[in-house]
Amino acid sequence: MQLFITILFFRQVLCTDKTGTLTQNKLHIILDKTVTFAGCSQEDLMFYAGISCRRLEEGQDAIDHCITQTCKKWNDNDELFHRMNKHPTVDFVPFDPEIKRTEATINGPDGQIFCVAKGAPQIMLNLSQNCDEIREKCLQDINDLATAGYRTIGIARGTADKKWTFVGLLAIADPPRFDTKEVVEKAQALGIKVLMITGDQ
């Protein structure tokens, strides 16, 4: 019994959440790390990301909020934000952990319906018609951003019948809490292995 207890002691593991536990839960987009595909400009990428969010008045999660705020601050006269508001949302599907994305059906200014979606980048990539031609570069970009500590969100635009085109990646930063490094180091000094449990890349 004593041997068993000793073995358990040396195998102590602390599993911790990431967002709001190790980090400040203050998300912001790093614009110079965004990656675009399919001839999409950075502004158009943010436009698609913005209209894929739940509207402000309906309440937003942290990701929708940081995307919307970036769009609002895009230029001095809120041109991008006004552009977004000219496109009424016909239908909105909030984030579903099973399909790992949100979807919005949009009524364009010419009355033409189109769709936008955002979510786990590999999921969005695999949904898209241009998947094969961009897969290698896109996966490398996802890995490079993850290695640098960024959370990545994939953005796709689609037709009314949901034929998707992958248009880019958003890089989202969430700074660590001021005491995270100290707490982790103290746990490790006590022989405790610290594991971060997260759904992010």
**103 - beta bridge partners?**
93, 117
* Cβ–Cβ < 8 Å for 38, 167: yes
Residue 17 annotated among the catalytic residues of the structure: yes
Q: Which residue do the tokens 């319906």 mark?
A: 113
Find out whether 13 and 193 touch, Cβ atoms under 8 Å: yes
Active-site pick, 17, 61, 91, 96: 17
Q: Is 17 in contact with 53 (CB distance < 8 Å)?
A: no
In degrees, rounded to 5, the angle at the alpha carbon of residue 57 between the alpha carbons of residues 156 and 60 is 50
Active site residues: 17
